[in-house]
Chain A
Amino acid sequence: MLKPGVTFMYRCNLQCTVLAGLGLLVLVFFAPPALPCAVAASNPYAGETETLATEGSAAEDGSAYADPFADDPFSDDLYGEESWGEEWPDPLEPVNRAIFWFNDKSYFYILKPVARVFRVVPTPIRSGLSRMFDNLKSPLRAVSSLLQLKFAQSGVELSRLLINTTVGVGGFYDPAGKWWNLRKQDEDLGQVLGRYGVGEGFYLVLPLLGPSTLRDGAAMVPQFYTDPLYWALHRDEHLAAKGVNMVNAISLDKDTYESIVAEQLDPYLFMRDAYFQRRAGLIKE
């Protein structure tokens, strides 16, 4: 089952710490101090609040609510004309829609029925399992924070990894969050690229993995190697673990996708916009 000569936990811990240490080394020796300056210049979302400044066009309407967004830096302009109807880049829309259709069918006919069966496992165990899988992403989050020079955040992630892997029994519990109020820092390599000014490219729907973009999809390749399970398990076992993770996650989810399909005129457009908005928000943070 496991590679000979190493126990699972030891291997996991070692890989995690080594990766975190490597991140540290990269920072100390290779981090060019001028990098963050590039962010504002080329990130298409960095200047969003400025470029979407209110024009006061709603005032002509004579409505009582005319232009409630004027001079508000923490809000965007919902009434301005220039921001309306902006399209997310999606040159592969026909292909994306085909994969979306495939994912939709896989969800309703395979993943969801399996997840429903999986619900016989008591909820506390399933949430524990999902936390364990999530704990394995801590190295990735720590490194991603570090690469964006967010030292405090990467410290939080490292502390979380150390505490939850030991006290939290391999991540099954979350004592770091519960007792020390160390919250998960949602960071990944796609956000690192975005922060340094790499645009999304265009929208991509990946088979089974769902919404992504050229940038975030490309970032998934090196991210793959930050997964401790990749190093601890054989390929087939790793794939199986990923499958379990996915089914487990769907079993815990409360029919989010079903309600999107039921309520939205075009679920594809809804998902696409939600993905772009969410990623832009995460990068801005």
Chain B
Amino acid sequence: MKSGLTGLIVICVLMWGLFTFVPSSIHAEETSPSQGSNASIAHGVQDSGPKYEIKQTVDKVVAQLRAIDSTPQWRDNVSALVHEKFNFEVMSQGVLGPYWHRISAQERERFIELFAFLLEETYVGRVKEYNDQEIRFGSEQIRQNRAMVDTYVAMESGDEIPISYKMLQHNGEWQVYDVVIEGVSLVRNYRSSYSSVLRKKDMAGLLDEMQTKIEELKQRLAEKEEKA
């Protein structure tokens, strides 16, 4: 009696699994972000457009990071690649929000410079750790002068980490203005923590704190390289 019941449940479950098998595999192919009627979605990489452009940069960065041993100037090369594709001015504007309009031009310039260093360090550090993993390029959505390109980093455990690049077309070129890793927007993240700092200190205080952090980071990097 008891085993009969178990059997019944198992059969029910099996049927359930099989029943939803076909629609579910279709479902897995869909991209979830809400798409407007005029948003175009392209699969496969063409030789122009945001997906093509970010793929070029990511491929070059990965190639550089894989050849660290043979190119001592890899850090400068990667930095140049990142600066070419990431629009740190738009990012800084997003991070500072209303503060952007209250600070002087010099402060803006200095903030962009420091922020670019920190973000570049975060981005390159992460890509470097995972550069032996495969990066899969998903769909691109374009809406007027903005675009979002989905990429996935395959992990050893079999999971994939979704990383999306939000891009902006500026003078005919697509530039990254935000990176969304596993649903967490970096710009929003920085905005949240920097706004907390700004509530207690002024802009000069924030800039000082960033400067100190960068000194620490540089020291840490130097120690790491000495070890290696």
Contact = CB atoms under 8 A, between A and B. Distances in A.
A202 B94 CA distance: 26
A262 B217 contact: yes
Interface string A158-180: 11001000000000001001101
B27 interface: yes
Given A21-B13, A61-B101, A263-B121, A156 B20 contact: yes
A68 B146 contact: yes
B193 A266 contact: yes
Contacts of B170: 64-65
A162 to B, nearest CB: 6
Interface in A134-191: 134, 151-156, 158-159, 162, 174, 177-178, 180-184
A73 B148 CA distance: 12
A102 interface: no
Interface residues of A, number: 72
Interface residues of B, number: 75
Interface in A245-276: 252, 254-255, 259, 262-266, 269-270, 272-274
Contacts of B36: 73-74
A232 B13 CA distance: 21
B158 A265 contact: no
B24 A182 contact: yes
B146 to A, nearest CB: 6
B24 A259 contact: no
Contacts of B146: 68-69, 72, 75
Contact of B157 (A58, A74, A130): A130
A24 interface: yes
A270 B193 contact: yes
Given A21-B9, A65-B170, A181-B25, A277 B189 contact: yes
Contacts of A280: 183
A123 interface: yes
A152 B194 CA distance: 41
Interface in A202-220: none
Q: Is the interface of B mostly helix, strand, loop or mixed?
A: helix
Nearest to B183: A281
A278 B192 contact: no
Q: Is the interface of A mostly helix, strand, loop or mixed?
A: helix
A254 B129 contact: yes
Interface stretch (B57-65, B78-86, B208-216): B208-216
Interface string A71-100: 011111011110111111000000000000
Interface in B158-201: 158-160, 166, 168, 170, 177-178, 182-185, 187-189, 191-197, 199
B101 A60 contact: yes
A191 B24 CA distance: 20
A131 interface: yes
B94 A79 contact: yes
Contacts of A61: 93, 100-101
A183 B28 contact: yes
B196 to A, nearest CB: 5
B20 A151 contact: yes
Contacts of B189: 270, 273-274, 277
Given A68-B145, A254-B130, A277-B183, A159 B192 contact: no
B114 to A, nearest CB: 11
Given A73-B36, A78-B97, A255-B129, 9 more contacts: A68-B145, A76-B188, A81-B98, A131-B157, A152-B24, A159-B20, A265-B193, A273-B184, A278-B182
18 contacts: A17-B9, A24-B16, A68-B90, A74-B143, A75-B148, A76-B185, A80-B97, A84-B97, A84-B195, A154-B16, A183-B160, A262-B217, A263-B122, A265-B197, A274-B189, A277-B184, A277-B185, A285-B32
Please list the 9 inter-chain residue pairs (A to B) with the smallest Cβ-Cβ separation, ordered nearest first: A155-B20, A281-B183, A84-B97, A78-B94, A269-B193, A273-B192, A21-B9, A254-B129, A152-B24
Interface of A: 14, 17-18, 20-21, 24, 57-58, 60-61, 63-65, 68-69, 72-76, 78-81, 83-88, 123, 127, 130-131, 134, 151-156, 158-159, 162, 174, 177-178, 180-184, 252, 254-255, 259, 262-266, 269-270, 272-274, 277-278, 280-282, 285
